Amino acid sequence: MLKEISDRRKDNTALNVADGSYRTRAGNPVPRRTTRGWKLMLEWIDGSMDWVRLAEVKEAYPLQLAEYGRERHRT
């Protein structure tokens, strides 16, 4: 069971800002949606901690991830 999400990191496979969008035929920019390269530090109820891929956290703990994002955006 998840206690909290405590940190985030990205590796060299994550998209950089320049690669973060593409243009449609009409020339409009569209953001790319991907979780590639992002991991979150999860603290479990037993006190252990693990880095887990963002895609896995999104599937298993969507509400906790949304709360983490909201709190992180406030600071």
> Where do the domains of the chain lie?
2-74
pLDDT of residue 32: 77
Distances in whole angstroms, Cα of residue 75 to Cα of each of 32, 41, 52, 69: 25, 18, 23, 10
Q: Write the DSSP symbol of residue 63.
A: H
Query: In tens digits, what is the pLDDT along the chain, a chain of 75 residues?
Result: 999 999 999 998 887 766 777 889 999 988 777 888 999 999 999 999 999 999 999 999 999 999 999 988 765
Stretch (H or E) spanning 38: strand 38-44
Structure tokens at 28: 């409009």
pLDDT of residue 75: 53
Which residues, at least 6 apart from 3, have a Cβ–Cβ distance to it below 8 Å? 43, 44, 45
pLDDT of residue 23: 87
